[in-house]
Structure formats: C-alpha cells, structure tokens
Structure 1
C-alpha cells in the first residue's frame, strides 16, 4: 500500500488517539484521504481510525 508520509503520520496519530493517548493535530487533507481509503472516519467529536485503518497500519509495520 502506498501512503504519503503525511497520511502515515495521520494514521499513526489516529491509532494513538484510539489507544487513549494524547496526539498532535491531525492534518485535515491527510485525514480526508484516509477516509477515502476507508482507514478513518469523521464523527461529531473528530477523526477516528477504522478497523481497516488499524489493519493497514499493522501491514505498514510488517
């Protein structure tokens, strides 16, 4: 899978956020790109990683 560096950073930050950690801001353009790929979603409280995003991040770390 080919993600831009900013998208990788956003995906990692979303995973850290999902784990309950404090994270830096998430670049909106990168988060939208992740949403288009199904790796993130936007709700009333902000961006969240999806199960597909968690799997994609695990694949990046292999």
Structure 2
C-alpha cells in the first residue's frame, strides 16, 4: 500500500493521538483517504487510527 507523504504524516499523527499525545490537527482530506483505505475512522471524538493503520505503521518502520 502506497501513501502520499501527507497521508503518512496524518496516519502518524493519528497514532500519536491514540497514544494520548496532543496533535495540532489532522488534514481532513488525508483522513478521508485513510478512511477509504481502512486505516482510519471517524468517531464522535474525531478521527482515529484503526488497528490496520497501526499495523501498517509498525511494518513501515521496520
């Protein structure tokens, strides 16, 4: 799976958000694209990374 730099940055920010860190903002266009790929989802609390998104980051970091 290939992500743009902006999508990768948004996914990394979502992972930081999941870990409890403060993130400045999530690019909505990127978040929607990540949602289409199953890497993020929209909830009442805003955009969240999915298990698939977290797993992809772990794979890409190796």
Tell me, yes or no, whether TM beats 0.5: yes
Query: Where has structure 1 moved over 4 Å in runs of 4 or more?
Result: none
Matched, 1:29 2:22: no
Partner of 2:20: 20
Taking only aligned residues, the RMSD between alpha carbons, in angstroms, comes to 0.6
Structure 2, unpaired ranges of 5+: none
After TM superposition, the score normalised by the length of structure 2 is 0.95
Aligned residues: 62
Structure 1, unpaired ranges of 5+: none
Matched ranges for 1:44-55 at <5 A: 44-55=44-55
Secondary structure, aligned partner of 2:58: helix
